[in-house]
Amino acid sequence: MTVSPPPRSRAWWEQRYADGTIPWDTGITPPELRELLDSGRLRPPGVALDLGCGTGTNAVFLAQAGFTVFGVDLSWLALSRARERALAAGVPPRFCQGDVTDLGFLAVQAKFVLDVGCLHSIAPEDRARYARSLAQRLAPGGLYLLYGFDADPTRVDGPIGFEAGEIAARFAPWFELLWQRPSQERERPVAWYLLQRR
């Protein structure tokens, strides 16, 4: 009998990348990230962090835009693919296997942090650590672009999601919520959030 690893464990993510069950890995940089750069509100150079970077699509995009980018993910297989993508694109591969709820292993002050679907998969009891750790790594005035599903208590699979008002409240000690944009993905409510470090 084969026993599956616990959901959201490092082994669970490795298994998903190994068997190709990664619907979140579209290989497309989100328009919201492109729009933020095009608006002039976010300008290179500077350090950018891509939390839950997966196979590196957005890390490579940010590096090509002129940022010094560090991608962080739990999955070694995802990071291996991210390194290949970066090398093929001619940008330096800076990818770290690690826990995004404790970024102490990164001795940087970032100008920008991106999280496309990472925080919404983290257990609610670990999200306070994520917020504190992020605040320590993002410089005052720095921007944080976040994407995640809304919470849905009827679902038994997929990301846990965010409760109404959770993002503004969770990050309030260190961040100002600049905007929130509701949307839909595969018939599930989602939202983009832009926050700024106080």
CATH number of residue 174's parent domain: 3.40.50.150
Position 18 in a domain: no
89: amino acid identity, one letter: A
Domain range enclosing 186: 29-197
At residue 7, the pLDDT reads: 54
The β-bridge relationship of strands 95-97 and 68-73 is parallel
Contacts of 101 (CB under 8 A, 6+ apart): 122, 126, 127, 129, 130, 133
Count of structural domains, the chain: 1
Position 141 in a domain: yes
Position 67 in a domain: yes
Position 140 in a domain: yes
pLDDT in tens, the chain (198 residues): 444 455 578 898 899 899 988 888 899 999 999 999 999 999 999 999 999 999 999 999 999 999 999 999 999 999 999 999 999 999 998 999 999 999 999 999 999 999 999 999 999 999 999 999 999 999 999 999 999 999 887 776 678 889 999 999 999 999 999 999 998 887 789 999 999 999
Place of tokens 């989602």: 190
CB 72 within 8 A of CB 96: yes
CA dihedral of 72, 73, 74, 78, whole degrees rounded to 10: -140
Position 173 in a domain: yes
Task: Note the pTM of the prediction, 2 decimals.
Answer: 0.93
- 8-state DSSP, 55: T
Position 87 in a domain: yes
Q: In what order do the strands lie in the sheet with 138-149?
A: 95-97, 68-73, 47-51, 110-116, 138-149, 188-197, 175-185
Position 113 in a domain: yes
